[in-house]
Structure 1
């Protein structure tokens, strides 16, 4: 794995720099190394004006940061995708505020044929979780297992999208709002590890030691939109980060889709608004997304497994539901002699596997 030079990493750390500005500077000075070699006076003369980024102390600070960064990425097997290199995401080419460099842990091909951003509320309902699972599974069946699912590893819809991709054997990319020396939320560390192990990647524009800050999440949303051919909003309240991602994707000229919800449902209000304002096209299934994107469908449908593997607790729940129409959760808890809090966790996993469905009144039945 080849890493960029220290000058390239340092150059990418210039605050607020865009690919257009970076290209103009490099066209004038010749290379990143020259930018750091030249004196402040020489740079000002070339530019026709002074700038704080030409100050020797500022540039020395960038080189010092870059040296630490390169040590960290080398020790941790992290890829650096620089805007002048071949492995830089091609989808960034027409994004005016794309980062000059992103860091990635994992082997995902950022230039895969199809990439879909899936976003939504952190407070996903059962309806939203099921839509997310069905969407990802449907894309895998209709288009192929190489479709890359992009999201932000947050609670709710984000992590549901990542987990669905892992379940279907599809690569997924988690875009972080901090450096790769940590994972936020910490509860999703194991999910991040699975993503890296299974053809996915955890990626960020932020260097190590960058901590969680609210503004970083808003900036992170543009990376999700930029890495994706289209963005699907599954569930969202009237305000939220998912709506920001949708607007950014629209500004980038990318397709935006949203699932409709019932009038009056808090976490469908955002999606319904996007559809009503023609920001997003209404979709009800993976098939709708595939048709609107005009993605080529797989010549041979991917066969579903005939047998679902259950844990001991899951098998006990399935056996108990067998032959019954609807069973209320408290009744199920009594029948199984299993605490409700533990039963809820088992039922969630069974929902994810498509074995049970939840009905009004916290009633469950086999699918």
Structure 2
């Protein structure tokens, strides 16, 4: 029943991803939002007559029920930002999608993930670099994330499939509207080894603004984003911008001055908005994956006696045991410990030799 109200809440005019979480935080649940009296709703910061009137629309619940039934029919899973099973890398982001529609077999919280994006007008150099990049990542078994577009994106998905790596295609449409349609032939393989995900409801056609929103999900799901080729202006640069805002690693593949498809990448490097990518070791070293090459998809658990630590320290250690390396803001969100407090805890645990700090404000157990 709660899912029904969650879907309905996402469809209320004026309720975006941030306000969705805020309303549920104030009222306790999505169902309570709809059942809270008007005078109390109006006391919530940001709530005005438009929101209140939107919540009273009778068609909302009926429409939400149709969405749930169609999702069930098409075997589509729904992840809400307030759910425990919501992708861990997105959970702490200020603009995390209120709901994700997902279909596939891969874990969206996979232990390692790399986003690979680029221009639709990819050159042979870009396609070859993408292939070699994915091949180099194979020993680390990461989730390869891209946008199913022509050029670099589809090259990344195909390389992942060829190397038996899970791959996720983030769509700027509903999951039942594959764009471009020419790539529908790859969907069955992608679903088998990975999955497709979107914040857009089933039936939604791709629109220009949805591609921009799609790019933030690619950046958010990835430990690092690699821009293989990009013109001086393009969606890949937007992905890099989001990744930088999320304090994730960003890499760009350099190209010759004569290659127009490399202008964006060269600019990112020149402006210090991306690390230069010249070989696979550049990426592995930045992500500190060298020490984990023999790991499985889940981090190793140390034999630490948690009774020797404070309650909050034990909470941090347990969380890192379960989820592996995490960004500090993500760890703060999931443990519900303030960012200032958790920074102090991590520093103390680092001094004790329990925790290690890594680039991108990430922390993990030693």
TM over 0.5: yes
Aligned length: 294
Q: In the alignment, which residue of structure 2 is the partner of 1:233?
A: 227
Deviation at 1:85, TM superposition (A): 1.6
Please give the alpha-carbon distance, in whole angstroms, between the structure 2 residues aligned to 1:120 and 1:46: 42
Q: Could you tell me how far apart the structure 2 residues matched to 1:140 and 1:83 are?
A: 30
Q: Measure, in 2, the Cα distance between the counterparts of 1:34 and 1:190.
A: 43
Within 5 Å, give how 1:200-349 maps onto structure 2.
200-295=194-289, 296-299=291-294
- 1:5 partner SS: helix
1:108 and 2:103 correspond? no
Q: Distance in 2 between matches of 1:4 and 1:256?
A: 38
- Matching of residues 98-247 of structure 1 within 5 Å: 98-141=96-139, 143=140, 145=141, 147-198=142-193, 200-247=194-241
Aligned with residue 35 of structure 2, among 34, 37, 46: 37
Residues 63-78 of structure 1: matches in 2 within 5 Å? 63-78=61-76
**2:232–2:263 CA contact under 8 A, matched in 1:** yes
Unpaired stretches in structure 2, ≥5 consecutive residues: 296-366
Normalised to the residue count of structure 2, the TM-score between the two structures is: 0.76
Query: Where in structure 1 are there 5+ consecutive unaligned residues?
Result: 301-367
1:18–1:96 Cα contact (<8 Å) kept: no
Aligned to 1:332: none
Task: Give the number of the structure whose alpha-carbon radius of gyration is greater.
Answer: 1
Helix, strand or coil for the counterpart of 1:232?
Answer: strand
8 Å CA contact 1:53–1:59 kept in 2: the answer is no
Aligned with 1:260: secondary structure? coil
How many angstroms does 1:66 deviate by? 1.4
Q: So what's the TM-score if we normalise by structure 1?
A: 0.76
Distance 1:249 1:35, change over 3 A: same
RMSD (Å), alpha carbons: 2.0
Give, in angstroms, the shift of residue 62 of structure 1: 3.0
Q: In 2, Cα distance between the equivalents of 1:95 and 1:46? A: 22
Aligned-residue offset at 1:279: 0.3
Q: Distance between the aligned counterparts of 2:98 and 2:205, measured in 1? A: 20
- CA–CA separation in structure 2 for the residues paired with 1:130 and 1:233: 14
| 1:170–1:41 CA distance, 2 compared to 1 (3 A) | same
